[in-house]
Structure 1
Amino acid sequence: MHTPALTRRVKEELLAALRRAAESTTARAVLLLGSDKAFCVGQDLAEHARILDEAPEQALTTVHEHYNPIVLALEEIQVPVVVGIGGAAVGAGLGFALAGDVRVSARRAKFGTAFTGIGLASDSGLAYRLVRSLGQARAMEMMLLGTVIGAERALELGLVTEVVDDDAWAERAREVALRLASGPTSAFVAAKREVRAAASGTQELPELLEEEADLQNQLGVTADHAGAVKAFLDKRAPTFTGS
Structure 2
Amino acid sequence: GLSQERGGSVFAVMRDESALGQFQRRTVDSILDFVELVESTNERLNRPIAVHPSNPLKAWCTAWLDEVGLFREIRRMEKDEETAENRVRSIVDLLDSMDPDFVPADRPAADRLHRFLEHISLDRERDEEDEAGDAVTLITVHSCKGLEFPHVFIAGVEDGLIPHARSKVEGTLDEERRLFYVAITRAQKTLAMSHCKNRRKFGEQIPCHPSPFLKEIPEELIVHGNEAEPASEEAVLDFFANLKASLE
Give the TM-score band, short-chain normalised. Answer: under 0.3
Greater RCO (CA < 8 Å, at least 6 residues apart): 1
Give the TM-score of the pair, scaled to structure 2: 0.25
- Report which of the two structures shows the higher radius of gyration computed on alpha carbons: 2
TM-score, with structure 1 as normaliser: 0.25
